[in-house]
Amino acid sequence: MSHLNDVQSIFQALGLNAPADSPAGLEVHTPIDGSLLARVDSTPATQVNTAIERAHQRSLSWRNVPAPKRGDLVRAFGEAVRRHKEPLGRLITLETGKIVQEGLGEVQEVVDICEFAVGLSRQLYGLTIASERPDHKLLETWHPLGVVGIISAFNFPMAVFAWNAALALVCGNTLVWKPSEKAPLCALALNGLLLQTAREQGLDTEGLAELLMGERSVGEALVAHPAVKLVSATGSTTMGRAVNIACAAQFKRSLLELGGNNAAIVCPSADLALVVRAAAFSAAGTAGQRCTSLRRLIVHRSIYAPLLASLRSVFERLPVGNPMEDGTLVGPLIDARAFEAMQLALTQAREVGALVHFGARESVGEADAFYVRPAIVELSSQSGPMVHETFAPILYVVPYDSFDEAIALNNAVAHGLSSAVFTQDLREAEVFTSARGSDCGIANVNIGTSGAEIGGAFGGEKETGGGRESGSDSWKAYMRRATNTINYGSTLPLAQGIKFEV
Ligand code: NAD
């Protein structure tokens, strides 16, 4: 299937029409060599509102479809995605520069969350609660919200949609998706496949899963529309802050999945071979462009020198190159701005006295593509650019002396997404995952910070936004909860024993 290297053949393999070239549309360039892939029309402001109103109308009937029947659509969609794993994965590579293995892994995540959601469609459990009154029943029931708005980032152009869509659909909501302007083709393909599946199931597709193309202003219009009951937004903290404020002003629900500045603590007892592998995948994989990428390594002073030597020798040899080619482990950065941000962070690190290894641009033969060798930056204390998220492959390393100090360093940044400890000491592992340990939404032991499974709730604290998506009971964010008290007696006893006789 290696012929699947261009937009036409990928869309053909998906059984979808390739997007029509629109001379005035959004230009989509591949980060592989900077060439133009397509020009995709933005959705005009008037059509944004029409699409949301269609989704609202559709939600009024979709909510009445029994949840297991809604699950049928998600099951069929997951199966269609599984059948088309190769073209979808290659489209991710083409549009975002992820290596093919990671593109395929992202598509697998779509399949996995669909399977999870199908099971969930028969498990949207409420509660019965003991009532304090005789002949009374107290219940908790869950109902669809209506329209769920999804705003997604460039770096997970399919999985983030699927995490939201699979759950939101079985929960009885309709969708309006505003994908990243840097990855509209992945959105056209995945949404196209969802609608194609719905048609094959004999469903009316109008308003079920609307797609809005465009830049930030389109996302702002989505957030502003009163029919959108939940905005699930994935991207930078700057974006999330704006969305959070806009939603709060409307008393609208938001589910925020924002930036991360993720750390791993390496203790004296750690298995260093395991640390090196985990750090290489977490820090250099996806060219450092995962929200969960490892950005800070907090290393006990006693093992600092040997670990640094091993890391340097691995980073020096990492195969940087065309992400379509077998053997490549590090593909390109998404664009020139990402490259400039990385170089600025390295300059700032040098200004605070850091020792910078690697990080320079690699020649992969293309002037308009930005390939870099992942950097290791040694600092004597956590300072300068280390305390901010730079969306690029930079691994800052600092030494520590006491475990409490290491935990304090882990927690001393604005974000709170992912974290890890490498240790064979049970106490350290337990403390790290306890109330006085990591303050992040994800706290791992002896595995890296990236590569979460869909079964757990995904998300983070502080400036990561506090949202939870994907597994566990994250589905509750896509429904509204009602408490129902039912009196099946013939008297009217009041709660708390209040007497009010008329
Ligand atoms: P970005 O914030 O630039 O854009 C994300 C999306 O938000 C895009 O669709 C964009 O058009 C839209 N947008 C921007 N401003 C908006 C506004 N004011 N109102 C409505 N929509 C707006 O992010 P990016 O560069 O595409 O992605 C990288 C960032 O995303 C990193 O910070 C990364 O950590 C984060 N991220 C987080 C997660 C997570 O689950 N926590 C997952 C992936 C990426």
In the annotation, is 291 catalytic? yes
Residue 36 has pLDDT above 70, yes or no: yes
| pLDDT score, position 371 | 98
What would the two tokens of residue 126 be?
A: 């409420």
Architecture of domain 4-258+465-482: 3-Layer(aba) Sandwich (3.40)
Q: H-type helices in 211-303, by residue range?
A: 216-224, 237-249, 272-279
Q: H-type helices in 255-380, by residue range?
A: 272-279, 304-317, 336-351
Ligand 1 in reach of 258 Cβ (< 6 A): yes
- For 104-143, the pLDDT digits (tens) are 999 999 999 999 999 999 999 999 999 999 999 999 999 9
Distance CA 187, CA 159 (A): 10
1 band by pLDDT with thresholds 50, 70 and 90: very low
Q: Which of 181, 222, 236 for a ligand 1 pocket mutation test, highest count of atoms within 8 Å of Cβ?
A: 236
Q: What is the sign, positive or negative, of the torsion defined by CA atoms of 406, 408, 409, 410?
A: positive
Average pLDDT, the chain: 97
The mean per-residue pLDDT over the stretch 246-262 comes to: 98
Architecture of domain 262-445: 3-Layer(aba) Sandwich (3.40)
The mean per-residue pLDDT over the stretch 69-98 comes to: 98
All CATH 3.40.605.10 domain ranges in the chain, comma separated: 4-258+465-482
40 band by pLDDT with thresholds 50, 70 and 90: very high
The mean per-residue pLDDT over the stretch 234-260 comes to: 98
| Residue of 114, 171, 247, 291 with catalytic role | 291
Distance CA 447, CA 460 (A): 18
Residue 477 has pLDDT above 50, yes or no: yes
Beta bridge partners of 356: 377
Beta bridge partners of 230: 148, 253
Distance CA 99, CA 352 (A): 34
H or E stretch at 217: helix 216-224
Ligand 1 in reach of 235 Cβ (< 6 A): yes
Distance CA 75, CA 465 (A): 30
Instruction: Calculate what percentage of the chain has a pLDDT beyond 90.
Output: 96
Q: Which of 291, 337, 463 for a ligand 1 pocket mutation test, highest count of atoms within 8 Å of Cβ?
A: 291
In the annotation, is 114 catalytic? no
Distance CA 122, CA 263 (A): 38
Ligand 1 in reach of 154 Cβ (< 6 A): yes
Beta bridge partners of 231: 149, 254
Distance CA 84, CA 71 (A): 20
Rg (CA), the chain: 24
Angle between helices 159-170 and 67-83 (to 10 degrees): 160
- For 165-200, the pLDDT digits (tens) are 999 999 999 999 999 999 999 999 999 999 999 999
Instruction: Calculate what percentage of the chain has a pLDDT beyond 70.
Output: 100
Ligand 1 in reach of 99 Cβ (< 6 A): no
Ligand 1 in reach of 416 Cβ (< 6 A): no
Ligand 1 center from residue 238 Cα (angstroms): 8
The mean per-residue pLDDT over the stretch 82-105 comes to: 98
346 band by pLDDT with thresholds 50, 70 and 90: very high
| pLDDT score, position 5 | 86
Residue 267 has pLDDT above 80, yes or no: yes
- For 277-327, the pLDDT digits (tens) are 999 999 999 999 999 999 999 999 999 999 999 999 999 999 999 999 999
Residue 34 has pLDDT above 70, yes or no: yes
Distance CA 482, CA 129 (A): 13
The mean per-residue pLDDT over the stretch 14-28 comes to: 92
Cβ pair 292, 417 in contact under 8 A: yes
Residue 425 has pLDDT above 60, yes or no: yes
Q: DSSP class of residue 374?
A: P
Residue 2 has pLDDT above 90, yes or no: no
